[in-house]
Amino acid sequence: MHHKPVQGSLFEENYLVRTLGAVVHTPDIALTELVANAWDAGASRVSIQIPPEKGGHLIIEDDGHGMTPEQFKIRWMTLGYNRSRHQGGEVEFPPNQDNGKRHAYGRNGIGRHGLLCFASHYTVETKKDGIKGKYIISTLEKKDPFTIIDEKVSPSKGHGTKLKAEVQKHLPDPDRILDILSARFIHDPQFTVIVNGRSVPPTKHPGLVSEEKMVLSNGVKLKILFIDSTKVAKTKQHQGIAFWVGNRLVGEPNWILGNNLVIDGRTRFGKQYTFIVKTDSLYEEVLPDWTGFINSEKMKVVYLFVDKFVKEKLQEISSEAREETQRSVLRYHKNQIKDLNLLSQREVSNFTKEMLLKQPTVQQEVLNTAVEVVINLEKSRSGKELLNKLTGFSQEDIEGLNKLLDRWTVRDALVVLDEIDQRIAVIEAISKLSQDKKTDELHTLHPLITQARWLFGPEFDTPEYTSNQSLQNSVNSIFKAKVSKDSFLNHRKRPDIIVLKDSTVCAVATDTFDENTGLFPMSTILLIELKRGGSTIGREEMFQAQNYVHDIHTCGMIDGSPFIRSFVVGHKKSAKTAPYVEIKHEQNSPAIGTVTSTTFGLLVKSAERRLFRLRDILKERYDSIPEDNLVKQVLGEPEQTKIVDILEIKAKPAN
């Protein structure tokens, strides 16, 4: 039965500014998104005028296809406009402009709100099909998130769009913006970005590493520019190898030459570097629609050469960085190393080199710590101690060791056994400590559980979950009124844990690469709330957790629109407590998160099954370990750090 609605939704003033995240708070991102809109409109030229001080006007003008009044009111004024669904993934070019094929950046309709980074209202002037529309957009109305407060339509020639806003906040730096936009759109010579009358050609780009000319065996002349796009911006899109024939882009940049993958585009190098191959020798090899090259002998020679050239350049970059880091680390420890014998010195040097080969992006502080542990191990290493242990082995143990070494290296065996030992110790510690009402959640129980996120399911068994500064800020803000007076006594040591009156709450997140913005917004938030000793999880606790999910999702301080997985953990659950709740803003809207209730006992039981009941098989070993020792083992006391732990260290991404 259809009923006439009593009232529609109301929106607070500046609703968009509070919900859109970085695009309306960071000038670099806002202007990048607005220029990407011009790219999607088939523009070949974008001009940006940035005023010298606040109060002046910021103007962005492009020669793209523009919009008719009807198109503007749908494309611009629809909240969350889905460009891919309505316009497809290919760019529409203006009349009489042939730029081949171009894939659009836009998908979710967020970029057009970039001007709200600078002002609460702005002007859009756009023309197409002989009609020019001029609109003033405002976000100050409460009835709607944004509205047209003035409209003028008149006849006009040409096409394109002009945006204008008075800069009330976040005044951009023109030089920085020029460098960032040049890095983002440098791959296409037919798309020029001008900031305050200046543009940056590839040969003048701050990230240019090298520029070389060469003639191939088949007579093809090439000029290859090697560019580090991240020297000025965290741009992560359109890196790869770009071919320019006659100053026109062929296809799109990628790391594939013919049928050969040069490097994995998901790696750090794949996301950081661009190679521009310029030539006038390959016109006959270009496909008619300029989407790529024909399969010919000439192109095979070109591909082979470029493949070798790119790999050599990347190897040089990687090798130089590794060697310099290795030298720096060994210099840092030179006084300790010189006291070792020659064999041990060589072991330390080889370890440092191997660590950098496996983890070329490892932070130097982490590597310093790892090398210090290896030095201490080399100092205390004793062959006599090992021989004494071997003489005490039974025949069965000797045969078992021999079989083990036939199948595994000592290092591999240590890595596997140490991981199993660590996980069983977690189960044992939680099982013993969660039953004790005197257990200190903040210092003991919560750190145990948050360091063992795999307890909550295999999807959380990843080092990618990490503390995030914007998440910490939002959680601190949301829970500020609820925390106890002493909640921040240990805040410098455990900034990701908030102490409430009856529980502790931890929030960590993963991020993911966003192709639209080139940034790494949060994709998933894991929220763990531990209830205190003897607690029972009931409806009230579940409702409270649901409110936390809503508060975090709408706080306006989160990067991206992450899915929030919340767990409420207590000693027992009431009979009417739902085990799992899906959270939505509205009944038919997509889920924004989930809340799951569980007990410490169920966590332990589930974890034991995931570890193939090894805890039962090794019962005697773990029954005899005191609780204090278990906690030290799991939480990683510095003096107990093992070399296998150091070998597996991965540098955490910056917050």
Alpha-helical regions (H) of 434-538: 446-450, 469-479
Q: Is the pLDDT of residue 526 over 60?
A: yes
Q: Is the pLDDT of residue 192 over 80?
A: yes
137-147 confidence digits (pLDDT tens): 988 776 788 88
Distances (CA, A) of 13 to 140, 141, 173, 553: 5, 6, 28, 18
pLDDT score, position 618: 63
Which helix (H) or strand (E) element contains residue 32?
helix 27-40
pLDDT (average), residues 44-51: 93
- Mean per-residue pLDDT of the chain: 77
According to the per-residue pLDDT averaged within each range, which of 7-21, 86-100, 390-404, 587-601 is highest? 587-601
Give 83 or 640, the one with higher predicted confidence.
83
**Quick one: fold of 15-195?**
Heat Shock Protein 90 (3.30.565)
Per-residue three-class SS string for 619-642:
HHHHHCCCHHHHHHHHHCCHHHCC
* 6-15, 72-81, 105-114: the lowest-pLDDT one: 6-15
| 464 burial level (CB within 10 Å; 0-12, 13-18, 19+) | middle
pLDDT (average), residues 283-295: 87
Cross-strand pairs, 471: none
447-473 confidence digits (pLDDT tens): 677 667 777 777 777 666 666 667 777
Q: Is the pLDDT of residue 105 over 80?
A: no
pLDDT score, position 233: 47
pLDDT score, position 297: 92
According to the per-residue pLDDT averaged within each range, which of 157-171, 237-251, 283-297, 424-438 is highest? 157-171
Please, are residues 269 and 318 in contact by the beta-carbon 8 Å criterion? yes
Nearest alpha carbon to residue 222 among 242, 251, 207, 197: 242
pLDDT score, position 430: 75
500-520 confidence digits (pLDDT tens): 777 788 888 887 766 666 667
The contacts of residue 414 (CB under 8 Å, 6+ apart) are 642, 643, 644
The HSE-up count of residue 491 (CA atoms within 13 Å, CB side) is 12
Nearest alpha carbon to residue 428 among 621, 151, 210: 621
pTM of the model as a whole:
0.46
Distances (CA, A) of 272 to 228, 510, 512, 615: 6, 21, 16, 45
- Domain boundaries defined on the chain: 15-195, 202-294, 421-624
Please, are residues 230 and 241 in contact by the beta-carbon 8 Å criterion? no
The contacts of residue 77 (CB under 8 Å, 6+ apart) are 146, 148
Distances (CA, A) of 453 to 43, 248, 374, 447, 562: 48, 50, 29, 10, 18
Per-residue three-class SS string for 353-409:
HHHHHHCCCCCHHHHHHHHHHHHHHHHHCCHHHHHHHHHCCCHHHHHHHHHHHHHCC
402-419 confidence digits (pLDDT tens): 777 777 776 666 666 777
Distance CA(354)–CA(361), nearest Å, equals: 13
Distances (CA, A) of 219 to 225, 275, 282, 287, 488: 19, 21, 11, 20, 70
Nearest alpha carbon to residue 58 among 200, 193, 173: 173
pLDDT score, position 557: 79
Distance CA(410)–CA(642), nearest Å, equals: 14
Pairing mode of beta strands 240-245, 249-254: antiparallel
